[in-house]
Chains A and B, each alone.
Chain A
Amino acid sequence: MIWTLLRIGLINMRRDRVVQALTFVLPIMFFSIFAFVFGDQRNPATRKVQVAVVDEDRSEFSTAIVKALQAEGGLRVRLVADAEDADRTLDREGAETLVKKGAVPVAVVLPKGLGAHPAFWPSDSQTTQPKVLLLADVSDPVAPQMVLGLLQKVSFTASPRSFASEGMAMFEKYAGPLTPAQQKSKEEMLKRISPTSADSGGVNSGGAALGLATEVVNVMEPGKGDAATISFYAAGIGVMFLLFSCAGAGGTLLEEEEAGTLGRLLSSRAGMRGVLAGKWLFLVLMGIVQLTVMFTWGAVMFGLPLASHLPGFFVMTVFTAAAASGFGLLLATISRSRQQLSGLSTIVILAMSALGGSMFPRFLMSETMQKVGLVTFNAWALDGYLKVFWREAPLLSLWPEVGVLTCLTVVFMLGARRFARRWETL
């Protein structure tokens, strides 16, 4: 008896490709995607933090810092405003623009007077001494911290003479003047120390009380980092579930085929074009409402700054809902049954969401994975929302995302129209 039941199960599974895909293909696919995403994090060749560096001081010390940062394996240093114009070095405004645009997650500004007063040691006058600024995009919680740590490291190792003489000066200030013999020994010691060193390996910053005076400035929206993070998750989760909703609602086509109402609709003056247009419009409106509810909940419960970003939100929501609706209809027209649609949409949407950044921010992925993610619908939608809520970008700057989403909508609908022909005439 048990063998008979086992046989039924085996036959059913062997003949049900959707179950096979969900059982075997989906886990492997997800494992592979996350292995690529997180596996690359350990590979410094693929996961380098891009940092813009502005040297306003142009002293021996600041030049040494820049060189040491360039020598760091984990960083990709950018010194020019325009990659194609190597003569135009970055200024503070240019670096801030790069961060705001999302070209780099963090910029280091070495201010004037830094070389004269590196200020490695805490002192009463430290507040008047120049601070190294880190202009950061809080959307990336890792990059600013990584750059800050490396900056402190290279500040010690890049100019050991400055570090030593600053330290001795601090000693004299609080312990009294050196004796002539001590003074002589100090000068001999400083002579032995190279003024600069690009060899930065193996030295730690030595604690938070020491090191360059720094200040991290959130150039995106100072003081509202949490809200920005919430907007990322609202967009990420919102877009993923929008795709699920649209695929599910698009499945009404299959239900109507089974019930016979699709045949009746096709016999009416609506025709297949009318049916698809009507379904699409309904899905678009449903999608707009769904995303609006999601973001409103985020605004009410978590302080998401929706009210101050309404125009951008509206533009992205309309075009995102339009493309997601087309995608849902395409999946429905490809599928032969509700069950097939359910399996197919689960596989495709979860894979797209993982690659496209709904589950794990794309900016934390390797550059390769970020590029791969661009083939997904989610990546463009999320990039648009990020521009609106994080980068405070003007509406016009949304044109690439809006353009791609519009093109995808057209492609999805043309595909759906093509596959829907099977219902029209035999």
Chain B
Amino acid sequence: MATTRTAAGEPALSLEGAAKRFGATVALDSTSFTVNRGELVGLLGPNGAGKTTAIRAIAGRLRLDSGRIRLFGRELHLNDKRPEIGVVPQELAVYPLLTARENLEVFGALYGVEAGSLKARVDWALAWSDLKDRAAEPVKRFSGGMKRRLNIACSLLHEPSIVLLDEPTVGVDPQSRERIYEMLTELQGRGVSIVLTTHHLEEAERRCERIVIIDHGKIVAAGTLGDLVGRGAGGARTVRISWHGTLPSAATFTNASVVFDESRTSLSARVTDVGRDLGALLETVTAGGVSITDVAMGGASLQDVFIELTGRELRE
């Protein structure tokens, strides 16, 4: 369990020993993690790992079989109101025939924003999501990125202290994705804690302060990227070797992670001990009668960590 605490004492949010089954399927299996105040935590895992189930449990949309959820130290029960939480669903949960302003107004009112301050909050949300110029347009005319930004803004009108985002950048172009992360960073700067699930490892690497890896409902690792790389991948590196000519298919490698390109003029492989494994790789290639033109070595990435810990690619 990741239990980093802020100086303020209690973590903003903690999930403790959460368990949930859907028939024979285990969605959460003694899942525990914490989120500190003002922290951006990435929840990573392949499809069906339990990310969305965890988000739904925290949002009060799912009854846990066992386990506890604490919000700023207060234990939450299923029907408790959670005004401190803002939930951004994976779907584009906005009304397409309403304008951006109208969507913000109705969701603001539903989330309990007082009538006197609603206009100011809507104006803030429009500016924050960079939609001020399109405020009066029906949402159905928006691009995917604009809809995503509005989708997030609709969940923030009541000024939640914790924001849960389920795949907030799915299906949007890199430019819009960048803008969304800028928005989240700005939000984080205001002291808001953020939990997001994502498939984009590079984003998680670059943006999240802490990463929680979940698989089969269990937390398999949690920590900063440096922690995880050190703990999960150890000294593992990715090696890429290129050569002139075609390597005969008879050439056999002892390293199971070797992957060739289509023309068999290069390969990539993971080596856990560079001194020992690199030499064996180079020898096998040279024995195939080709001349090596390049050898490149990369540092361990979150992808390596993920594969190391779960035994599979993230997008499986």
A267 pairs with B92, CB closer than 8 A: no
B111 pairs with A426, CB closer than 8 A: no
Smallest CB separation, B151 vs chain A (Å): 8
Q: Assess whether A270 is interfacial by the CB under 8 Å rule.
A: yes
Contact partners of A269 in chain B: CB under 8 A: 81, 83, 110-112
A424: nearest residue on chain B (CB-CB)? B61
- Using a CB–CB cutoff of 8 Å, the interface residues on chain A facing chain B are 258-261, 263-270, 424-426
Smallest CB separation, A3 vs chain B (Å): 36
B62 pairs with A425, CB closer than 8 A: yes
A269 to B59 Cα, complex, angstroms: 12
B63 pairs with A264, CB closer than 8 A: no
A265 to B154 Cα, complex, angstroms: 11
Q: A260-B93, A263-B89, A267-B60 are in contact. List 6 more A-B contacts (CB 8 A).
A: A260-B92, A264-B93, A264-B107, A268-B112, A269-B111, A425-B61
Smallest CB separation, B135 vs chain A (Å): 19
Smallest CB separation, B109 vs chain A (Å): 9
With A267-B60, A426-B63 already in contact, the answer to whether A260 and B91 are too (CB < 8 A) is: yes
Q: Assess whether B56 is interfacial by the CB under 8 Å rule.
A: yes
B108: nearest residue on chain A (CB-CB)? A268
Out of B22, B56, B107, which one reaches A268, CB within 8 Å? B107
A261 pairs with B94, CB closer than 8 A: yes
B82: nearest residue on chain A (CB-CB)? A267
Contact partners of B91 in chain A: CB under 8 A: 258-260, 263
Sort A-B residue pairs by CB-CB distance and give the 7 closest, nearest first.
Answer: A260-B91, A260-B93, A268-B110, A264-B93, A260-B89, A261-B93, A426-B62
A257: nearest residue on chain B (CB-CB)? B91
A108 to B62 Cα, complex, angstroms: 70
Contact partners of A424 in chain B: CB under 8 A: 61
Q: Assess whether B156 is interfacial by the CB under 8 Å rule.
A: no
Smallest CB separation, B67 vs chain A (Å): 15
B112 pairs with A259, CB closer than 8 A: no
With A425-B78, A426-B22, A426-B56 already in contact, the answer to whether A266 and B93 are too (CB < 8 A) is: no
A425 to B77 Cα, complex, angstroms: 12
Out of B60, B90, B95, which one reaches A261, CB within 8 Å? B95
A266 to B93 Cα, complex, angstroms: 12
Contact bitstring B64-96, A, C-beta under 8 A = 1, else 0: 000000000000001001010001011111110
Smallest CB separation, B253 vs chain A (Å): 44
Q: Assess whether B155 is interfacial by the CB under 8 Å rule.
A: yes
Contact partners of A261 in chain B: CB under 8 A: 93-95
A268 to B89 Cα, complex, angstroms: 13
A269 to B108 Cα, complex, angstroms: 11
Smallest CB separation, B142 vs chain A (Å): 14
20 pairs of residues in contact across A and B, judged by CB atoms under 8 Å: A258-B91, A260-B89, A260-B92, A260-B93, A263-B87, A263-B91, A264-B89, A264-B154, A264-B155, A268-B107, A268-B112, A269-B83, A269-B110, A269-B112, A270-B110, A425-B60, A425-B78, A426-B56, A426-B62, A426-B63
A62 to B56 Cα, complex, angstroms: 83
A276 to B111 Cα, complex, angstroms: 17
